């Protein structure tokens, strides 16, 4: 069973209220501890005291800067998805050919989760969709906005299937990516997932390209 901590009583905080800033090094230690612990166990089996000990900070620090376990989990997830978005935008610089741009988005996504499997493990073990969808993180504007922009461009240029909205194309892509990464982790595969990226991309491309 997870360790239970005694909650520190704090006055209620208005929704959206800004919290004090945490120094980058401490934040990095806390987020790493979140990945290590939450990626291995379900949300309800994790105690905040474990995160505090893993990050070498006080429990009061967690409450002061994050407010609670759910906020801590989602802020860590959001920070990691934002890292993926930054990498994606960086790799898209200078690419003009649409298919190659789309291929790069796919490859960067596989590469990120291949190198950061604990992010996907965290999503698999501790993120409940009914809770996530109520948060702004679920619509992470940096990451999903980049995907939507690329997909909208493809539909506008008559390259991708335009019989459905780009959000459905995004659902299709995320379903494929999620399954690929989850099973890569579950099977304990050693060969890099990106080694198959081009073959997998061509399969996805045939599904999403506008029918002749």
**Residue 37 belongs to domain with CATH number:** 1.10.10.60
pTM, rounded to two decimals: 0.79
Quote the pLDDT of residue 41: 86
User: What three-state secondary structure class fits 141?
Assistant: coil
Residues 112 and 50 in one domain: no
Residues 83 and 112 in one domain: yes
Residues 46 and 115 in one domain: no
Q: With bands split at pLDDT 50, 70 and 90, how would you rate the model's confidence at 15?
A: very low
Q: Please count the structural domains in the chain.
A: 2
Domain that includes residue 62, residue range: 24-70
Residues 107 and 149 in one domain: yes
In a domain, residue 5? The reply is no
Residues 140 and 107 in one domain: yes
Residues 47 and 88 in one domain: no
Residues 59 and 115 in one domain: no
> Per-residue DSSP letters for 145-173?
HHHHHHHHHHHHTT-B--SS-HHHHHHHH
Question: Could you tell me how many residues make up the chain?
Answer: 212
Residues 52 and 113 in one domain: no
In a domain, residue 86? The reply is yes
Residues 64 and 168 in one domain: no
pLDDT in tens, 142-170: 777 888 888 888 999 999 999 988 889 98
CA dist., res. 156 & res. 158, Å (int): 5
Residue 63: other Cβ atoms inside 10 A: 20
Mean pLDDT of 9-16: 36
Q: What is the mean pLDDT of the chain?
A: 84
| Contact status, residue 170 vs residue 72, Cβ threshold 8 Å | no
Tracing tokens 């690329």 back to the chain, one arrives at 150
pLDDT in tens, 45-80: 899 999 999 999 999 999 999 988 888 988 898 899
Q: Which of 44, 70, 96 is the last residue of a domain?
A: 70
Residues 66 and 84 in one domain: no
In a domain, residue 10? The reply is no
């Amino acid at each position: 069973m997870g360790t239970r901590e005694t909650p520190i009583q704090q006055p209620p905080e208005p929704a959206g209220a800004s919290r004090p800033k945490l120094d980058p090094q401490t934040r990095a230690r806390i987020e790493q501890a979140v990945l290590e612990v939450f990626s291995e166990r379900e949300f309800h089996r994790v105690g905040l005291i474990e995160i505090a000990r893993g990050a070498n900070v006080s429990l009061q620090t967690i409450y002061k800067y994050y407010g609670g376990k759910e906020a801590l989990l989602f802020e860590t997830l959001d920070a990691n998805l934002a890292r993926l978005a930054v990498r994606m935008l960086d790799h898209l610089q200078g690419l003009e050919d649409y298919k190659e741009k789309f291929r790069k988005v796919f490859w960067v996504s596989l590469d990120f989760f291949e190198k950061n499997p604990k992010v996907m493990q965290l999503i698999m073990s501790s993120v409940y969709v009914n809770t996530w969808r109520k948060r702004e993180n679920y619509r992470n504007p940096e990451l999903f906005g980049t995907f939507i922009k690329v997909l909208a461009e493809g539909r506008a240029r008559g390259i991708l299937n335009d019989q459905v909205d780009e959000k459905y194309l995004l659902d299709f892509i995320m379903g494929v990516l999620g399954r690929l990464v989850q099973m890569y982790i579950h099977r304990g595969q050693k060969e890099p997932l990106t080694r198959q990226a081009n073959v997998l991309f061509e399969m996805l491309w045939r599904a999403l390209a506008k029918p002749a």
